[in-house]
């Protein structure tokens, strides 16, 4: 009886088994690569799909004008900005100084902001950096640290007019020290500082406030102090010589550095031809002046003529200090008229007195006639 051959004894069987095992080992890397490719391709599609789904979403950390819009879609971001950015800009602005307040109404400012453009910029910023960096940000919860300045506009002429109005209320001119004179006295009026609004600075401050939703809507005006050109200490040197005429008491006074230096008896204009009152200045001076006779009835035959200086017919004796429109100070030999209203508008002095006065009073010297 023939013995059945075992598989191990079958010719060539062992070679077949080894051949099949080798093929399986060779196919396994290909399968693994194929599976990996499937995962990778699927993951890439998933990543692109996830990124595309968030293309209308603003990245966390982005603000517009200080308003946090991170994580919001476009429509919601626009609504939030109109509420928190635009509406606060439509409120009045106030400027205060020293207890006073001035209001700039929002209606005059005509503030407007391009909200949609700002949101579009926020979305563009969110998409910067490429897909890998965005995926890392999605996974890790990272933020984009970016503050977008909104495009805000307003009506500049309204701000300019407002600044001028505030300046008009605040500004004060300096007051130079000066003299308050009467016919018989001199009083020093003290100097006063002025003040001036820093209008260019206020304009810049207003520009910052009217375009910001977070800044306070009240500004304290900044004012600079202006100094007078002539201080109280300087006023004496500004008026080294001064004359006052007291018509009621027929007295001319000479002041030096605001102190009384001399008093002189004089005659002044008669009724109807009064010596003019007010503040004047010595306009001209002359020694032995000619007399241009006024064309008036009182001048008689000399009316309209010119009488040479130094002759007996000329009443302007020795010296002349012109004051106003033909009126002046001059010497007279009619000393009996001193202490009366006897002249035709001029101020008469004794000849020695007018000679003494002449050299002490320069052209331009103020004279107050009271």
Residue 298 domain-assigned (yes or no): yes
On whether residue 162 sits in a domain, the answer given is: no
Rounded to whole angstroms, how far apart are CA atoms 308 and 286? 12
**Statement: the pTM of the whole predicted model exceeds 0.85:** no
Q: What confidence score (pLDDT) does residue 81 get?
A: 85
The reply to whether 61 falls in a domain is no
Q: What is the DSSP letter of 78?
A: H
Q: Which domain range does residue 258 map to?
A: 239-369
CA-to-CA distance for 243 and 360, rounded, in angstroms? 11
Instruction: Decide if 221 contacts 95 (C-beta within 8 A).
Output: yes
318 in any annotated domain: yes
Q: How far is it, in rounded angstroms, from Cα 297 to Cα 308? A: 20
At 128 the pLDDT is 83
280 bridge partner residues: 367
- Asked whether residue 272 is domain-assigned, the answer is yes
Pairing of strands 146-148, 62-64: parallel
In a domain, 112, yes or no: no
> How do 306-307 and 291-292 pair as beta strands?
antiparallel
User: What pLDDT was estimated at residue 9?
Assistant: 47
In a domain, 20, yes or no: no
Look at residue 302 and tell me if it is in a domain.
Answer: yes
What is the token pair recorded at 120?
A: 């579009």
Per-position pLDDT tens, the chain of length 370: 444 444 444 444 455 455 555 555 555 554 444 444 445 555 566 666 666 667 788 888 889 888 898 888 889 988 988 888 888 888 999 999 999 999 999 999 998 888 888 888 888 888 887 777 777 777 777 788 888 888 888 999 999 999 999 999 999 999 999 899 999 999 999 999 999 999 999 999 999 999 887 889 999 999 999 999 989 888 888 899 999 999 999 999 999 999 999 999 999 999 998 999 999 999 999 999 998 887 777 777 777 788 888 898 899 999 999 998 889 999 999 999 999 999 989 999 999 999 999 999 999 999 999 9
Q: For position 343, which CATH number holds?
A: 2.40.440.10
Contact 346, 328 (CB under 8 A): yes
User: Number of structural domains, the chain?
Assistant: 1
Alpha helices (H) in the chain, listed in sequence order: 13-53, 74-81, 87-89, 106-109, 115-126, 130-140, 156-170, 199-210, 235-238, 351-358
Q: Backbone dihedral region of 278: left (phi > 0), alpha (psi from -120 to 50 degrees) or beta?
A: left
**What is the reported pLDDT for 28?**
54
Could you give the 3-state DSSP secondary structure of residue 138? helix
CB atoms near residue 120 (< 10 Å): 15
């Amino acid at each position: 009886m023939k013995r059945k051959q075992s598989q191990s004894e079958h010719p060539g069987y062992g070679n077949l088994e080894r051949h099949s095992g080798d093929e399986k080992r060779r196919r396994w890397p290909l399968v693994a690569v194929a599976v990996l490719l499937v995962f990778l391709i699927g993951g890439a599609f998933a990543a692109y799909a996830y990124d595309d789904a968030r293309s209308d979403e603003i990245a966390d950390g982005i603000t517009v004008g200080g308003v946090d819009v991170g994580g919001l879609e476009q429509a919601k971001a626009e609504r939030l900005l109109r509420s928190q950015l635009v509406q606060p800009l439509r409120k009045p602005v106030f400027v205060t100084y020293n207890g006073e307040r001035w209001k700039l109404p929002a209606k005059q400012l005509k503030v407007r902001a391009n909200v949609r453009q700002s949101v579009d910029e926020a979305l563009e910023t969110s998409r910067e950096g490429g897909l890998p960096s965005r995926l890392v940000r999605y996974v890790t919860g990272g933020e984009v640290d970016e503050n977008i300045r909104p495009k805000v506009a307003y009506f500049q002429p309204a701000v300019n007019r407002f600044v001028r109005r505030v300046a008009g209320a605040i500004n004060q001119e300096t007051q130079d020290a000066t003299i308050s004179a009467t016919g018989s006295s001199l009083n020093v009026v003290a100097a006063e500082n002025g003040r001036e609004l820093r209008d260019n600075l206020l304009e810049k401050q207003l520009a910052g406030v009217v375009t910001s939703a977070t800044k306070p809507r009240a500004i304290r005006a900044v004012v600079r102090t202006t100094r007078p050109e002539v201080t109280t200490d300087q006023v004496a040197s500004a008026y080294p010589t001064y004359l006052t005429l007291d018509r009621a008491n027929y007295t001319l006074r000479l002041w030096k550095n605001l102190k009384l230096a001399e008093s002189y008896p004089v005659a002044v204009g008669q009724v109807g031809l009064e010596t003019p009152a007010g503040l004047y200045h010595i306009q001209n001076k002359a020694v032995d002046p000619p007399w241009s006779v006024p064309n008036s009835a009182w001048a008689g035959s000399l009316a309209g003529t010119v009488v040479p200086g130094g002759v007996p017919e000329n009443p302007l004796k020795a010296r002349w200090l012109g004051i106003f429109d033909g009126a002046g100070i001059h010497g007279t030999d009619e000393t009996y008229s001193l202490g009366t209203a006897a002249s035709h508008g001029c101020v008469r002095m004794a000849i020695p007195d007018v000679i003494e006065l002449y050299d002490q009073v320069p052209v331009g010297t103020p004279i107050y006639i009271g």
